Amino acid sequence: MDGVRHIAGRALARHLGEWRGDRAGSAYLQLAERIKLLVLDGRLPLHTRLPAERELAVALGLSRTTVAAGYDQLRETGYLHSRRGAGSWTTLPEGPVERALTAFAPAGDGTALDLAYAALPAPAEELAGALRTAGEHAGHYTRGSGYQLLGLDVLRDAVANRFTRRGLPTTREQVLITCGGQQAIALVLGTLAAPGDRVLVEHPTYPNALDAIDRRHARAVPVGFPTAGWDLDTFGATVRDAAPRLMLLIPDHHNPTGRCMDDGQRHEMATLGRRTRTPLVIDETVTELTLDGPAPTPFAALAPDTGSAPVITVGSASKTFWGGIRIGWVRAAQPMIERIARTKASLDIATSVLDQLVVTHLLDELEPVLRRRLPMVRGQRDHLLALIARRFPGWVSTCPAGGLSLWVDLGAPVSSILVAAASRHGVLLAAGPRFGLDGAFERFLRLPFTLPEARMELAVERLATAWLSLPGGTGWPGTPAEVA
Ligand SMILES: Cc1ncc(COP(=O)(O)O)c(C=O)c1O
């Protein structure tokens, strides 16, 4: 399929970022390798028409022969398809694709150490119990059509109760059940943003949200992070300059940085939204995973919804329980819920009744699940921090008070090539630029602390081997230390 997407030479050059890991290596091979990475990790969508060789050569300051040889290499390896006179499109090779980086890769064959996702295995006992109870209650629903656009009342009540217990009084009418948090984000974007609209995001941010913005043909406007907290001044200036249609924020254990917004900044951000009449979409997918200190205050509890500046909260069962049950939700004022529900109706009509029943029963088991899960994740986080301090003393990471990952400064712009090398050593990761726009964050790596200790140790050892295999790898500040 020849797609309609096209990327210009200058834009591709920006995406490529620091693509020459080794000045002494063949430029055409490095160029081909980097374009392949962009395809594999979803930054360059499939069926995108690449710039003509001459255009890319000018944008990169290379000879046309080098670009042509790079494109030849991509064609030979199955990542580019060309038609004479029409152009060249990104594609994937036939057969099993090297599962390096893509967010959509199969989750491994059991031998790979999968850190491409920041997600935990299911709580086996509670899930088994919830499946049994869901089965017992299913009969009540199977007598009806099974289509319930807004979700089952029992689950809407359970989600509303959880908000209420967290300090945000909520009723069933304010809750729409979705197929996962990602669908919730896409539905909100589909309802509020039109093609061409600007959506203000933190930078870095959750990559599938960036993809959802892209799919809506809206434009993400990034605001970077200062050393600590959120940069409210820049948020204010950017809202003034860019007049975004909405802001999409992850204040609770932000993915990937792990930051948590304090109440003062929540107030300020809410005021900014109200003052500029900018809707705030608050992604609380990770909110239950507080590892240190008090749980965050629900953002919407500090930001009364005024209608002209709605506060829409997105949540999910994926991090609290399991990503394999595709249940999420949207919380907003009832008229907004009804608008978003109309978008859902056009998309998939309703959410699986059985999955909803399972989550309804899992929510009854929230306390015991978290009582076991949080100390385990805290231990894994501390263990990973200790491993890194010992093996990669040049890497810099803060200790996040929640969530599932570290955001590590590698000390050198090598994230993509490191991730590619790591996949050859059986460790699957998402490179830093997956979390940003235009090739940013090549110096950063998201490292989930989701594996048990022994497997995490193996992953870090393999990462050290992968690093040492990089061209010039021993000369960078982040080089692994010798261990006795
Ligand atoms: C911040 C954030 N939002 C949304 C999602 C998507 O969640 P779900 O699996 O429920 O679609 C994730 C999953 O990693 C996430 O980290």
Percentage of the chain lying above the pLDDT 90 cut: 76
Please list, in sequence order, all residues whose beta carbon lies within 8 angstroms of the beta carbon of residue 104, skipping any fewer than 6 positions away. 42
Domains of the chain, first to last: 9-90 (1.10.10.10), 113-122+374-475 (3.90.1150.10), 124-364 (3.40.640.10)
Is the preceding peptide bond at 204 cis, omega within 30 degrees of 0? yes
**pLDDT(42) > 80:** no
When pLDDT is cut at 50, 70 and 90, the band that residue 109 belongs to is low
Tally of residues, the chain: 484
Measured in angstroms, how far is the CA atom of residue 22 from the centroid of ligand 1? Answer: 35
pLDDT tens, position by position, 222-249: 999 998 999 999 999 999 999 999 999 9
pLDDT at 209: 97
When pLDDT is cut at 50, 70 and 90, the band that residue 22 belongs to is low
pLDDT at 307: 75
* CA distance linking residue 174 with residue 333, whole number of Å: 5
When pLDDT is cut at 50, 70 and 90, the band that residue 14 belongs to is confident
Closest by Cα among 438, 420, 439 to 429 = 420
Measured in angstroms, how far is the CA atom of residue 181 from the centroid of ligand 1? Answer: 5
Alpha carbon 61 to its chain centroid, in Å, reads: 33
Is the Cβ–Cβ distance between 299 and 270 less than 8 Å? Answer: yes
Is the Cβ–Cβ distance between 449 and 216 less than 8 Å? Answer: no
Ligand 1 pocket, mutate which of 316, 322, 352 (most atoms under 8 A from CB)? 316
Ligand 1 atom with least separation from CA of 316: 10
Measured in angstroms, how far is the CA atom of residue 330 from the centroid of ligand 1? Answer: 13
* CA distance linking residue 435 with residue 414, whole number of Å: 15
pLDDT at 110: 61
Ligand 1 pocket, mutate which of 114, 179, 182, 359 (most atoms under 8 A from CB)? 182
**pLDDT(2) > 50:** no
**pLDDT(447) > 60:** yes
Ligand 1 atom with least separation from CA of 327: 10
pLDDT tens, position by position, 319-361: 999 999 999 999 999 999 999 999 999 999 999 999 999 999 9
The single-letter code of the amino acid at 99 is: R
Measured in angstroms, how far is the CA atom of residue 390 from the centroid of ligand 1? Answer: 31
3-state secondary structure of 315: strand
pLDDT at 156: 98
When pLDDT is cut at 50, 70 and 90, the band that residue 40 belongs to is confident
DSSP E strands in 346-468: the ranges are 405-409, 427-429, 444-448
Measured in angstroms, how far is the CA atom of residue 285 from the centroid of ligand 1? Answer: 6
Is the Cβ–Cβ distance between 275 and 242 less than 8 Å? Answer: no
Measured in angstroms, how far is the CA atom of residue 85 from the centroid of ligand 1? Answer: 42
pLDDT tens, position by position, 391-446: 999 999 999 999 999 999 998 888 988 998 999 999 999 999 999 987 788 899 99
* CA distance linking residue 88 with residue 7, whole number of Å: 11
pLDDT at 107: 46
Number of other residues whose CB lies within 10 A of the CB of residue 357: 24
pLDDT at 15: 80
pLDDT tens, position by position, 170-188: 999 999 999 999 999 999 9
Measured in angstroms, how far is the CA atom of residue 117 from the centroid of ligand 1? Answer: 10
Atom 16, ligand 1: which residue's CA is nearest? Answer: 255
Atom 2, ligand 1: which residue's CA is nearest? Answer: 285
Ligand 1 atom with least separation from CA of 255: 1
Cα–Cα separations (whole angstroms), residue 300 to 4, 307, 312, 322, 365 = 40, 13, 8, 25, 25
Ligand 1 pocket, mutate which of 177, 206, 281 (most atoms under 8 A from CB)? 206
Ligand 1 pocket, mutate which of 114, 248, 255, 285 (most atoms under 8 A from CB)? 285
Measured in angstroms, how far is the CA atom of residue 230 from the centroid of ligand 1? Answer: 21
Measured in angstroms, how far is the CA atom of residue 318 from the centroid of ligand 1? Answer: 7
Within 13 A of 96's CA, how many CA atoms are on the CB side?
A: 6
Ligand 1 atom with least separation from CA of 183: 11
Q: Within 6 Å (CB) of ligand 1, which residues are found?
A: 118, 180-182, 206, 250, 255, 283, 285-286, 316, 318, 323, 328
**pLDDT(119) > 70:** yes
Measured in angstroms, how far is the CA atom of residue 59 from the centroid of ligand 1? Answer: 35
pLDDT tens, position by position, 56-67: 999 999 999 999
DSSP E strands in 172-285: the ranges are 175-178, 198-203, 219-224, 246-249, 280-283
Atom 12, ligand 1: which residue's CA is nearest? Answer: 285
Measured in angstroms, how far is the CA atom of residue 209 from the centroid of ligand 1? Answer: 9
Ligand 1 atom with least separation from CA of 185: 4
3-state secondary structure of 427: strand
Closest by Cα among 2, 5, 4, 9 to 51 = 9
Residue predicted with more confidence, 169 or 6: 169
**pLDDT(95) > 60:** no
Is the Cβ–Cβ distance between 284 and 252 less than 8 Å? Answer: yes
Ligand 1 pocket, mutate which of 159, 312, 318 (most atoms under 8 A from CB)? 318
Residue linked to tokens 């809407």? 156
Measured in angstroms, how far is the CA atom of residue 72 from the centroid of ligand 1? Answer: 37
**pLDDT(30) > 70:** yes
Atom 14, ligand 1: which residue's CA is nearest? Answer: 118
How confident is the model over 301-312, as a mean pLDDT?
A: 87
pLDDT at 429: 95
3-state secondary structure of 44: coil
Measured in angstroms, how far is the CA atom of residue 10 from the centroid of ligand 1? Answer: 31
